[in-house]
Amino acid sequence: MTTPLKLAVVGAGVIGRHHARVAVQHPDLEVVALVDAIPAAATGAADELEAMGVARPITTATIEEAIAGTDIDLVAICSPSGMHVQLAEAALAAGKHVVIEKPLDTTMPRARQIAALAADARSRGLVTSVISQHRFDPASVAVAGAAHDGGFGTVTSGVASVAWYRSQGYYDSGDWRGTWELDGGGAVMNQGVHTVDLLVWALGRPEEISAQTGLLAHDRIEVEDTAVATVRFRNGALGVIHCTTAAYPGLSARYAVYGTHGSAIVDDDRLAYFHIAPDTATLESASTTANATAVAGAVDQKSDVVPPEHVVGGPTEPDHFAAGHARQYTDIVAAVREGREPGVTVDAALVSLATVRGLYVSATLGKPVRIDDVIEGVYDDVVPVVGTAIPTEGATR
């Protein structure tokens, strides 16, 4: 029997406790340490795990104390985003594998630091991954697989739309909410980031983004409650991003991928539509007229692609929120044991973060922005604003 990996969770807030609960139920993980600068938070989390019938993990105020106090294989960093760099550096320097809760960071300079640390760690056989649990949802796995292996033919376009609702009270409930410094952005960074990541995963490397943002339905916040953008991808595909927290009463998060041989839609993590042309003869015989919007007889294949609990209208997956993290942890454990890259690398997370940052930069400067320039730091000095502003001197090239 393979020995479980020993996990330390850094940050005993809501998401840290979620990681810990997922881990104690995972057959290949054992939670051995909980770290939080607030001792009562770590102690409370340890009490919760002990009540679940597992051995009580040690509690410490710093990651260094945890590493010194017990044997650790893997460190889950669930702290505020601005602390990710120093925590990742400490864990990797001690020879520990690392998983970072999303987002990678809220700033590109710190995200690049983490990417450099991960690259160095990779040369020493260490795995560094970033949580993007929806990439492991069966519906999204099926769609990305068809997009990548040619099942959809030439992928021509895609749409990511998050139409949610947040009241004014939501933003008023914390001084950090709705601020660039502490929240990192609005409807895109906080509510839409997962769906944007899934679109990027399916369509490939984004090259350029052009965006507009607005604050249309809320007061006393700095960030956007509505954003739209168009994206050009390296393979030529075109994408649309739409995110809002002003869509009463709150609808779904969905994305669609369209190609010359097939298309698919994922709605709230479930497969809403999936079709691939069964053979070349079908494609050659397919026709539409000016009065028809679709090929006649194209059957929705979604129920043949994923289990019923991952199909829109099917039964609910038990504890769906935990299941996504558990699936990603299974991948991370396998990456550690097999000495391979994880399913979600720091580089992949960096590209998705740069897409969101590029959206904000484009909306601020009122012009298209190259994603490579965002990654390379060309726009690091741009302070985002909602709407279009005059370019800052020296901020563009």
- In this prediction, residues 41-53 reach a mean pLDDT of 97
pLDDT score of 291? 66
pLDDT score of 20? 98
How many other CB atoms sit within 10 Å of the CB of residue 337? 12
pLDDT score of 151? 97
More confident residue, 282 or 272: 272
* Residue ranges of the chain assigned to CATH 3.30.360.10: 135-316
Query: Do residues 270 and 281 lie in contact, with contact meaning Cβ atoms separated by under 8 Å?
Result: no
Q: What is the pLDDT of residues 277-298, one digit of tens each?
A: 987 777 777 776 666 677 878 8
Architecture per CATH, domain 135-316, reads as 2-Layer Sandwich (3.30)
pTM confidence score: 0.93
Q: Give the largest CA-CA distance in the chain.
A: 72
Fold (topology level) of 5-133+323-345 = Rossmann fold (3.40.50)
pLDDT score of 81? 83
- In this prediction, residues 194-210 reach a mean pLDDT of 98
pLDDT score of 388? 55
Question: CA-to-CA distance for 137 and 26, rounded, in angstroms?
Answer: 17
pLDDT score of 390? 47
- Tokens 């390296």 appear where? 234
Q: What percent of the chain has pLDDT over 70?
A: 96
Asked if the model's pLDDT at residue 391 lies above 90, the reply is no
If 0-12 CB within 10 Å is exposed, 13-18 middle and 19+ buried, where does residue 315 land?
exposed
The model's confidence at residue 176, banded by pLDDT at 50, 70 and 90, is confident
More confident residue, 394 or 262: 262
Q: What is the pLDDT of residues 123-171, one digit of tens each?
A: 999 999 999 999 999 999 999 999 999 999 999 999 999 999 999 999 9
Asked if the model's pLDDT at residue 395 lies above 50, the reply is no
Kindly state the tokens that stand for 343: 């399913």
